[in-house]
Every structure is written in structure tokens, then in C-alpha cells.
Structure 1
Amino acid sequence: MKEKLQQLLETLGSERGELRVRLHLLGLEAREELEQAETKWQNMQLRLRDIGWEWNLKAKTEIHDLGEDVDKLQHKITDKVGDIRLEVMEEVHELGEELAELYQKIRRHL
């Protein structure tokens, strides 16, 4: 009986050692998986940051382009207003000349 007990203790000791080795290996695997997950997390954060930068640059470009379009439109409007102003001034001048002629005719008849 003593031999069986001794053999059982040796077997249990051996299995205990194997269990410790397995637990250690399992811990290493878990750490490796955690490191891989961390790497994926960091890569995702970098991609999201890069996407944010791309959107930011795209928005800046679009805002700049819109600003240029607004400037062009403002120049067109200014030019058009200037053209209309000249036309109105010419018409007013012509009307003034016509009125002056009419006034002179009226004075001659009186």
C-alpha cells in the first residue's frame, strides 16, 4: 500500500508539474493574443486618425474651392452692377440731353 501511495504521489507530482507548464504556456498564448489584439487596436486608431485627417484636408479643400467660387461670383456681380450703372448713367445722360433739347424748344416757342 505504501508503494501505491508513493507511486500515486509521484504521479500527482508529475501531473502537477505538467499542469504548471500548461498553465504557463496558456498564459504565454493569452499574452500573445492580447498583444495581437493591442496591435489591431492601435492600427485601427491610426486608420481612424488618418481618415480624420483626410476628411479634414478634404473639407479644407472644399471650403477653399467654395471661397474661390464665392469670390468669382462676387466679381461677376460687381462687374454686372458696374455695367448696369454705366448703362443707367448713359440713359440718364441721354434723357438729360433730350430734356435740355425739349426745354430749348419750349423756350423758343414762348
Structure 2
Amino acid sequence: MKEKLQQLMQALTSEREELRVRLHLLGLEAKEELEQAEEKWQNMQLRLRDAGWELNLKAKEEIHDLGEDVDKLQHKISDKVEDIRLEVVEELHELGEELAELYRKIRSHF
């Protein structure tokens, strides 16, 4: 029983570390996409300084596109965080059931 409990604790630890890595990777992906959006923003600002009214009209379109990109990124991040949250809840539920079963077995020996 002790060995089973240790294995279960190791599984929990492993799951926890895996979730940390996945959240870190999600953060890196979001950071990369945000950096790309920032680069677009900076490029647009340079063009505005160098061009004039005509480029200003084009920049308005780019600002709109940039806003859409940011919205997509926000939804993507929210969706991924929700997916991870659901996986964690499901895995914790399963581990809780395993712990409950192990606890019942331990109690039945006493």
C-alpha cells in the first residue's frame, strides 16, 4: 500500500511538473506572438513618420488588422488556458478517485 501511495504521489508530482512546462510553453508562444504584434506596431509607426496622409489611411487598416490579431491571440490564449484547466481538473479528479480507493483499501486492513 505504501508503495502504491508513493507511486501515486510520484504521478501527481510528474503531472504537476508537466503542467508547469505546458504553461511555460504557452507563455512563450504568447510572448512570441505579442512580440510579432509589437514589431508590426513599430514598423507602422516608422512608416507613419516617413509618409504622410496616404500612409495614414493605410495605417488605419493596419491598426484594425493589428486589433484583430490581438483579439485572436487573446481568444487563443483563453482557449488554451481553459483546455489546460479542464485537463488538470480531470486528472485531479482521476487521481482523487485513485487516492480514495487506496484509502478504502488501507482502512479495510485496519
Output the TM-score relative to the length of structure 2. 0.52
Q: Please list every run of 5 or more consecutive structure 1 residues that lacks an aligned counterpart in the other structure.
A: 1-50
Partner of 1:104: 104
**Aligned-pair distance for 1:54?**
1.3
Q: Which residue of 2 aligns with 1:86?
A: 86
Aligned-pair distance for 1:88? 0.2
What amino acid sits opposite 2:82 in the alignment? G
**Partner Cα distance (1:85, 1:70) in 2:** 22
Max Rg structure: 1
| 1:57-68 mapped onto 2 (5 Å cutoff) | 57-68=57-68
Note the 1:18-29 alignment, pairs <5 A.
none
Q: CA RMSD in A?
A: 1.1
Tell me, what secondary structure is at the counterpart of 1:79? helix
| Residues 7-43 of structure 1: CA deviation (Å, up to 9, x unaligned) | xxxxxxxxxxxxxxxxxxxxxxxxxxxxxxxxxxxxx
Match of 1:70, as an amino acid?
Answer: V
Query: For 1:11-50, what aligned pairs fall within 5 Å after superposition?
Result: none
Is 1:71 the equivalent of 2:71? yes
Q: Deviations over 1:78-109 (max 9, x none)?
A: 00100000000000000100000000000001
Gaps of 5+ in 2: 1-50
Count, aligned residues: 60
Give the structure-1-normalised TM-score: 0.52
- Write the distance in 1 (CA, Å) between the matches of 2:56 and 2:84: 41
Runs of 4+ in 1 over 2 A off after TM superposition: none
Q: Identical aligned pairs, as a percentage? A: 83
The amino acid across from 1:69 in the alignment is D
